[in-house]
Amino acid sequence: MKKSALQRVRAEYQPKLPKDLQGDVKVKFGEATESVANQAEIKERFPHTYGMPIVQFENNDKPERVEEPFNVGIILSGGQAPGGHNVVSGIFDGLKKLNKENRLYGFLMGPAGFINHQYMELTAGYIAEYRNTGGFDIIGSGRTKLETPEQFEAGLKILKELNIKALVIIGGDDSNTNAAVLAEYYKNIGADVQVIGVPKTIDGDLKNEWIETSFGFDTACKVYSEVIGNIQRDCNSAKKYYHFIKLMGRSASHIALECALETQPNICLISEEVLAKRMTLDNIVSYICYVIAERAKLGWNFGTVLIPEGLIEFIPSMKTLIAELNEVLVEYADELESLEENEKLEAIHSHLSPVNADLYKMLPKTIALQLSLDRDSHGNVQVSLIETESLLSEMVAKRLAEMAEDGQYSGKFAAQHHFFGYEGRCADPTNFDADYTYALGYNAAMLINAGLTGYMSSVRNLTDSTENWICGGIPITMMMNMERRNGEMKPVIQKALVNLNGRPYLKFASMRETLALNTLYQYPGPIQYFGPAEICDRPSMTLLLEHNKEI
């Protein structure tokens, strides 16, 4: 395969490694932990892996004897995120540093490859082709959910056959929940297999004090911000369109907020704020129309509106409807399967409670159908398929026409629609993500060498220089709570939502009125890999603000 000039040069980049991982390491154990909520229930379900201590690595001045060689398997799970290949590279290099005879196997196309025994050995020559590149194409990814003993036993068979000591699952909150369940299962049956998780998701909702950001978030937001900036330059040039831009982020608005800080649009909706203020769809439309009308008074009939992908699930009335829809779609799945569109809508309507039935009936047919699509493998609404940006712009256009008739609006309104999702998932990682993912992978190899299981790789202090990053691991169970999934309560990692008392949100909120009624767009430009550190190595604005750094 012919490589571009950038690919060839970028392959030579050597990710920076924290000093705690340079040379031999030793483990420092902290205090015992407990889950973030539902402690009794989580402890009961994870008796062998609950309450384990946080661990931190330090340089070891007195190296221990070289361990016997061992093999490791890896799974790339869920949607792609920039930097996944460097996690693999970091694991490989960490294993080879421990013992040159250690071997790494990759299960193909996600958890399905683990269950179906489809794998390949990852060698130095093969991995060299993927260092510092985007995507998960080194072994592929998939969304098969690991949840049954039959799957665990099928996987255990190939682990034994390949003499694999540990399995690393690289994924988001649901995938790492699977890792915790798998670690508990193998511990319970006495299988000599470790399971380690690595925090991945561009959505940014897998985070806490110990996981300061999930990998890929930095790169994806910079990709989206570049394109938003380009659109805003066009918007300010043509001066005749409102651009409604939907951004990835099913369960949280971290991407929308970060992109707003980067680009300074006229409007950015924050799902968590909508929920906290119990805003209705009508409230949201009224706010957008207010901004458009005020800008029209200044002669500006253009602007940009950022919309988080999962917004519709945060509108309280819609949230209640969706929760009941989830139950109905599971309970009446056989009945609904063979029905035509209109028949299906009528059948679903008949099974809903009166209040939700009325709301469901009021929705445009396209939105009602989109809300009634089959759920993903984790039981979630496929919100990326719900055209919220079109729904809002249509409702805004209708409201503005009514305002014009009443003499409350005298401008011109024309809308353009965009959804940025896949564009950011497989970009070549920023220097920050390239370094961070490599450290996460190398760190995972050290967790395995320490004999740990049920842990997530943790690298923090991320706004300091790379050499001062703090490395170690946290028990996955400490991040868990009980949630309703597919009609039953299950233990899952608690998602991190935008903190409405946090500095990133408060920073944006302080600028909101000024950005709405002025044209102060910022143009971040493309990701830079070579040049001054303040351009090439800068972490996300969200991370800087959370660490009380200036942006």
Query: Which residues form the catalytic set?
Result: 203
Q: Structure tokens of 306?
A: 């950022």
SS3 470: strand
How far is the first Cα of the chain from the last one, in angstroms, to the nearest whole number?
40
Residue 534: is it exposed, middle or buried by C-beta count within 10 angstroms (0-12/13-18/19+)? exposed
Sign of CA dihedral 12, 16, 22, 27: negative
Q: Name the phi and psi angles at 137, rounded to 5.
A: -70, -5
> Which residue type, as a one-letter code, is found at position 185?
Y
Using CA atoms, how far apart are residues 494 and 422, in angstroms rounded to an integer?
Answer: 25
The sheet with strand 303-308 has its strands ordered as: 267-268, 303-308, 242-247, 415-420
Burial 151-188, CB ≥16 within 10 A → b, else e = bbeebbebbeebebbbbbbbbbbbbbbbbbbbbbbbbe
Using CA atoms, how far apart are residues 254 and 234, in angstroms rounded to an integer?
Answer: 25
Pairing of strands 25-32, 53-59: antiparallel
Closest Cα partner for 424 from 225, 233, 283, 204? Answer: 225
Residue 459: is it exposed, middle or buried by C-beta count within 10 angstroms (0-12/13-18/19+)? buried
Q: Structure tokens of 312?
A: 């519709």
The CA-based angle 314-289-415, given to 5 degrees, is: 90
Using CA atoms, how far apart are residues 441 and 517, in angstroms rounded to an integer?
Answer: 46
Q: Name the phi and psi angles at 479, rounded to 5.
A: -95, 5
- How far out from the chain centre does Cα 521 lie? 26
Residue that is written with structure tokens 């951004």 in the block:
247
> Which residue type, as a one-letter code, is found at position 471?
C
Q: Name the phi and psi angles at 541, rounded to 5.
A: -65, -35
Residue that is written with structure tokens 């061992």 in the block:
70
Q: How many Cβ atoms sit within 10 Å of the Cβ of residue 127?
A: 18
Q: Which residue pairs, CB below 8 angstroms and at least 24 apart, start in 224-228?
A: 224/248, 224/255, 224/259, 224/420, 224/423, 224/424, 225/258, 225/259, 225/262, 225/263, 225/524, 226/524, 226/525, 226/526, 226/527, 227/420, 227/423, 228/259, 228/262, 228/263, 228/265, 228/304, 228/306, 228/420
- How far out from the chain centre does Cα 451 lie? 28
